[in-house]
Structures are given as structure tokens and as C-alpha cells.
Amino acid sequence: MKLIFRSILFVFLLVFSCGKMMSQSTTVVLKDNWRFSKEVTEEAFSVNFDASKWEKVSVPHDWAIYGPFDKEWDKQVSAIEQNGEKVPTEKTGRTGALPHIGTGWYRNTFSIPEFKKGKKALLIFEGAMSEPQVFLNGKKIGEWGYGYSYFYIDISKDLIPGSENILAVKLTNMPFSSRWYPGAGLYRKVSIEVKEEESFVQWGTFITTPDIKENTAVVDLKAEVSGNNLSMVTQIKDAANTIVATQKVTEIKDGKFHQNISVAKPHLWSPETPYLYTAITKLYAADGTLKDEQSTKFGIRSIKYEAHKGFSLNGKVTKFKGVCLHHDLGPLGAAVNKAALRRQLTILKDMGCNAIRSSHNMPSFEQLELADEMGFMFLAESFDEWAKPKVQNGYHRFFEEYAEKDIVNLVRATRNHPCIVMWSSGNEVPDQYGAEGLTRAKFLQDVFHREDPTRPVTVGMDQVKQTMASGFGSLLDVPGLNYRVHLYEEAYKSFPQGFILGSETASTVSSRGIYKFPVVQQKEKQYDDLQCSSYDLEACSWSNVPDEDFVLQDDKPWVIGEFVWTGFDYLGEPTPYDEKWPSRSSYFGISDLAGLPKDRFYLYRSRWNKEDKTLHILPHWNWKGREGEITPVFVYTNYDSAELFVNGKSMGVQKKNNSTPQNRYRLMWNDIKYEPGTVKVVAFDSNGKIAVESEVKTAGDPYKIILEADRKVIKADGDDISFITVSVVDKNGIPCPTAVNELQFKVTGAATYRAACNGDATSLEIFHENKMKLFSGKLVVLVKSVEMAGIIQLEVTGKGLQKGKINLKSEF
């Protein structure tokens, strides 16, 4: 199918799936019984090797997140071309200052009773950082290059039926191989799929709907199979588990079954209504024997990209209110955890976010499952490098051999998720220059089109002038601009697609609860404490503050949305302090590394969340020593006007206006002089009536510890996590926004203490130790379940403070 893009770029009516094999197929997740060592032991693949003294771990596992922090781990001397640097300088925290460099070995001894001769077994890796070499029963059975790619190995001939098998995996993280913290180890699931020889091909099913009407949708299902003389029966169930359609097919063409199934009165998938159906697809032999079965959650929706109009979902013009996310989960590192991902998406949902860009790598299966379920559109990205390097040992080493294979696995494994509405073949690749770059861009885009002719492909472009001149930007299905707000109009006129995507925007920097004076908009500003001001007016030389993007998003219908850099802080890339130690994580996040919202969260919420009231005041009001000094007060609200009071005295009414981008989206009282007491804001609706009020008070000394859990009931599965926000208040219950007390944590009952994080980008405290200092009055404690139901108690203590306790529960 040839993709056409000009006035109408794409019109796709799709049903998407995320299948899990059942019945005649068995999935065995290799979670436990792993042994791990960072010792360089080349004999570790041997059957007779004794690994009993190695560390016992469960997978997913990130060996580096346990620290310690040290600037020597991956100290890089480089000039970051993407940031406009010309002279190489020492970058001390660029990859998070954690010990991810080196070789790690994993071993697991297992048996698969379900496997017998004549069956098929696939060993599936969802992410292995990095350059995995895989050994089974002493024999090397496969390898891969890219640490972010999913891949599988057919182990049917090497798996021993009815006996123990020994799996060994060697991982090697080279120095100078990343621009951020990549993590280390088997950081996503490892599993074995056992099936009949006659079965569905792994990741070989693709479902679309070529026609959706108000009363019916046609489900088009293509399933690649191995074997002949087979038949396939599909049942479609609605969210109430009621069968709404059934069809049988017996003809195999080009190794695939093809069905068109009508679903009456379809419920459409969208961020507002993420309705999911289930397809049960069964494969039968000629004698009626069930050979294989797939259970597939899917959603029905249509996407459309039009020149001068933008992006439409289910016929409705929709802007991407998106964020970029790196794959690390703060104090958990790169090890994927569904509870942590769900918490992130819950926070983003409250902000009004409707889209995610996986930056700059393949998303986890868990993240996509949650995006389907919770209602987020997804821009699934693949690479940060092509053939030209950004870092010495980056992906360019693998491009020629692996690029096509990596895209094929990405697309086939995930193309059935309703959340994915676009692919990205790269981010700020140096290949934007020269004819070879155009050739590579077309090659990669063609691979995406071949594997999935239903979605467009973009690239995050930072060299916009170059891509306008060379034709690189015109080649892409969707031209993605990273920053360069001053070039949007010129790019729109230059590119033929008729629309622009803000594939990466803002890169505003701030530290939660930290405010600097005087309050002025500036770039590349640095302070002695290595923090950034949370007045949200500071950016990098190549980036901008949020309001400049808001203007383009609101005023230009041909700007189809934005993906803000970033939704959460992440480990590594501590710009603007990447040359200063001990900065070791980013300042870009709308929320900090602990997942605690910064002030900027409420600026985006005031514009993106149309359902809830937003009224947020900054800064805090504890400024001993600043009495009588100018201390501006900003208000982020979805109302157009508000009145400010300081200790009961009106400071006047402010109304949003178009004089500057900041005045358009913020209410600002820039001449307020600090005096201790109470700051109160009253917001007015469009009729001038009081809509909502909020206030901030000056706190006394820290007195009592307060605990608040995101969930008080968790699953007793050994993986689930409750995130408890810890803060301190004074004797009157007023939060203490400048508290830095060191606290201790104790967990008893049916759970374990997992980690803590305070969101301070300069803290060298170890996440998994049971003590940490507050940062701007807060931190977060992670309590992880065990495989036992019962009561859980977290107790938090600190010198001179009334301790805090909270009871949780874990249940099966």
C-alpha cells in the first residue's frame, strides 16, 4: 500500500491489539531464580560453572541503580552539537553518575514441563542493556546489538525436555555509549513461549478496520501462521465479556489467514473513552484439534492527518498535549515496573496530558498496555542515532546490521496497540545533513510503511534550516520540529505536508520548590547551589519557556500538537549543570525525579485540563531575611482573572492579556514585597463571580511528619508498589516548604522497603538506603509488596520530629 501525503495525508480506520498466548501455548516468565555478577568471568556460560555465590536477583533488574554515585563512572569529554557546543568540555553527570559501565552476567536454571519434542519454544527478551550474548546449556544460541530492542530466539533444538536447563546472558555496557542514564542488565521481562509447531507466528498478527460507521465497524484481521490444513475461528467480546461477533476461515494465502468481521454499534477508543474489546483467536488442525490460541485486547479508532487542518481522532480535530519520557523510573532505574508506570500516567492524566513520546527508544510493553487502558496516544520512537555518531560507542555501530531488524521487531510487537498513532525513526540525528541522510530517512520510513502501512512516520529535527534546504523534512510523513519556535512559520511554508508537529518542546529547567531572585526570563542561568528557579522562566540556549509553545499551539491550526521535554525528570543530562558536580539528573521535568509536581505542572494543567479547576500560587511564603524585598507572586489558573491579598490587603486584580506570552497564560504580581503571613488568591469566572480561592501561609519550625500514599491497597505479587509522599508540617499543620531534615524509614508486615527519592538533582544519597533528607520539604518512599497478603506499616522518623505512621494492605 503506497502512502499518500499532501492535502489528506492519512485516513486510517483501525483496530489494534496486544495479544497474549493461551491454551495450547504456554508463557513462562523467568522472573525469579536468577543469579547475577559483575565479575568478568568468561566461563559463566558453562553448564558446570558454580554461580551459587552470585547475588540472587529477580528480573526485571537494573544493576547500576544501587550506586554509588561517582562522577568517574562515565565521565565524558565532548561538545554536544545538538546544544550548539563547539568546544569539548568535561561532562560529569551526563549518564547519571551510576555504575552502568562494564560487563554483567545473569544465570537461571529452569525446567519447562510443557515442552516436548515436536513443540516449539521461543526465548523472548523485552530489553537487555546491552549487547546481549545468550547461552543455553553451554552453547551460544544468539546475540543482539541494541539494548532497547525486543527480540526472540528459537530455542526448540537446544531446550532439553523434562530436565533442567541453564540459561546464561552476558551483557556489556560500553563507556561513551549514551547521552543519558541507560540502565544496565535485564531491565525488562524475559520469558519463554512454548507452542505447537502448527501455531501463530510470533508478533505475526495485525488487526485494522478499513471501515467504521456509526452502527458498525469492520475488523480486518491478518494472522501469520506456521502449518497447513488449518482453520481459524475468531470471537470478539465487548468490555462486559459478551460475544459480539464470530467468524471462521479456512483459506491460507501467503502464509496468513485473513478475516473481515463486523462489530455492531462499536465503542470507539480515545483518551477520553479508552474502550477495549477482546478478540479470542483459535487455530485448529484438520481433525478439529486446537493447536493455538490468542487472547487480544484491542480498541477501535480512526486517525487522520490533513494539510492546514491537523490531526483528527475519530473524526474530531485533536491536538497532541504530550510529554516526552525517558525509560528510567527515577529511584527504580531502568527496571520496568507497572505500578511505577501507572503512577506516572495517573499524574499526567490529572495534568490533562493526552499523549506520550518514548524518548529516544522503544517503549516497554507495560507502558503501552497502560496507555491503551488509561487513554494516552503514543508516539513510539526507535533511535537516537543512525549511521553518524553522537557518542563514541552509540547506535551507529549497529545501524547497518540491525536498523531494519530493530524496526521490524518494534512494529510487529506493538503495532496492534490502539494508543500508537505515529512512529518515529529518529531524534536529532546528525544524518540530517547530506544526501546519505535522505537515503537513510527514506529507507527507515519505507521499512515502517512496509510493516505498518497505517501510521505516519516522523523524525525529531533540530537542524530545521538544513532539512528545509535538503528535502529531508519534505520526505517525512510528519515533519517534527524540536524547539526552533522562530522557524515554525518558515517550515510550514517550506514543507509540503501542510502541518508541523512540535516533536520536542520547551526544555524549561526548574528545581521543585526553589526560587531565585531577581525574577527575570533568562537562558543558561547557573547558581552556586546548582539548582534552577521554579518561576519557570529559565531555559537553555537552544530551548524556550512553555508560553512560547502555547502561542503556536493555540493560534496555528496547522501545528498539530507538542511533546514537552519532559514529563518527569530523569537520570543523566543535568543541563545546565552537566559540567558541574554533583549534578546527576535532569531539571527538565514537569514533575521531579520522585514524581512530585513542580510549579510548572500547574501551568500545563491550567491549559490542558479542561475538566478540573486549577489555582496554584508560587512561590512558597517562607523568606526569612527577605522582609521588604521584592518577591513576585505568580498564579497558574484556568481562570482569566484573580485578585491577590497579602495579609488581608488587596494587591490588585490581574487579568490575562496578550501583551506577552507570559501575560497570556499566567497571572503575575511582580512588585510584591515579602512580609510573613498569608498570601491568598481569589479567582473569578467569566461573569466576574468568585470561582475558587487558595492560600499559602508562612510556616514555623518543622514539628510533625505527614504521610500520604498514592494507594493503600496493593497486590501481593512481589512487584506492586505503593508510593508514599512524606512531608513535614509545623505545630499548626502548615507545610514546611524549606525543610531538609534527614528521615529514617522502617517497613514491617507484608512488604519491604524498596527505595526513596527526594527529587534533588544534586543529591548523592543512595536510593535504596533507608534514610534520606527532605528536599523542599518533601520526599517519596516506595514500599514494595511480597508474595504474601497482610497488613503493612511504614514508620518514618526524624530527629526532633513527631514520627509519621501509615498502614497499608496487600492482598491477592
Q: Provide the annotated active-site residues.
A: 428, 504
Q: How far apart are CA 132 and CA 173, in angstroms?
A: 10
How far separated are the first and last CA of the chain, in Å rounded?
Answer: 48
Confirm if 109 and 166 have CB atoms less than 8 A apart.
yes
The distance of Cα 173 from the centroid of its chain, to the nearest Å, equals 22
Which set of grid coordinates corresponds to residue 591? 514533575
Which set of grid coordinates corresponds to residue 306? 490533513
Q: Dihedral angle at the C-alpha atoms of 62, 63, 65, 70, nearest 10 degrees?
A: -150
Q: Dihedral angle at the C-alpha atoms of 438, 440, 445, 449, nearest 10 degrees?
A: 120
Measuring CA to CA, how many Å separate 532 from each of 84, 475, 508, 516, 528?
21, 39, 10, 8, 10
Q: How far apart are CA 460 and CA 441, in angstroms?
A: 12
Q: How far apart are CA 257 and CA 281, in angstroms?
A: 11
Q: How far apart are CA 572 and CA 73, in angstroms?
A: 12
Spell 103-125 as b/e; 16+ CB within 10 A means b. bbbbbbeeebebbeeebbbbbbb
Q: List Cβ<8 Å contacts ≥24 apart for 469-474.
A: 470/432, 470/433, 470/434, 470/435, 470/437, 470/438, 471/438, 472/432, 472/437, 472/438, 472/441
Q: Which residues pair with 392 in a beta bridge?
A: none
Q: Is the dihedral of CA 707, 586, 429, 391 positive or negative?
A: negative
Confirm if 7 and 306 have CB atoms less than 8 A apart.
yes
Q: Is the dihedral of CA 656, 662, 666, 667 positive or negative?
A: negative
The distance of Cα 513 from the centroid of its chain, to the nearest Å, equals 24
> Quick count: other Cβ atoms within 10 Å of Cβ 192?
22
Confirm if 294 and 257 have CB atoms less than 8 A apart.
no
Amino acid at 780: V
3-state per-residue secondary structure call for 449-499: HHHCCCCCEEEEECCHHHHHHHCHHHHCCEEEEECCHHHHHHHHHHCCCCC
Q: How far apart are CA 31 and CA 697, in angstroms?
A: 49
In 3D, which of 603, 570, 606, 573 has the Cα closest to residue 589? 570
Q: 615: Cβ–Cβ under 8 A, 6 or more apart, which residues?
A: 635, 636, 637, 639, 642, 681, 683, 692, 693, 694
In 3D, which of 324, 344, 353 has the Cα closest to residue 607? 353
Q: List the 119-125 sheet strands across, edge first.
A: 26-29, 190-196, 119-125, 151-154
Phi-psi region of 478 (alpha: psi -120 to 50; beta: other; left: phi over 0): beta
